[in-house]
């Protein structure tokens, strides 16, 4: 089964986040690279690689939206 993650741009550096990159997810479901995130850590709800975070928050899987 092939799973395709949605393309998400990091709001800070405007690069597409790759599934192996370490990311942080905040309470309004904004995904940023760990090194780009500059807000309060209290606001975070998930951390890990994009692939790991997407497992917990299935709306990142494009195919489920179709």
Residue 1's H or E segment, with its range, is none
* CA 22, 66, 27, 15 torsion-angle sign: positive
Size of the site for Zn ion (CB under 5 A): 5
Contact segment (CB under 5 A) with Zn ion among 18-26, 33-41, 42-50, 57-65 equals 33-41
Q: Does 8 bind Zn ion (CB under 5 A)?
A: no
Q: Does 64 bind Zn ion (CB under 5 A)?
A: no
Q: Which residues bind Zn ion (CB under 5 A)?
A: 10, 12-13, 33, 36
């Amino acid at each position: 089964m092939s799973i395709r993650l949605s393309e998400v741009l990091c709001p800070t550096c405007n690069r597409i986040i790759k599934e192996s990159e370490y990311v942080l997810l905040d309470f309004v479901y904004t995904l940023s690279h760990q090194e780009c995130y500059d807000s309060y850590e209290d606001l975070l709800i998930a951390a890990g690689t994009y692939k790991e975070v997407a497992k917990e928050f299935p709306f990142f899987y494009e195919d489920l939206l179709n």
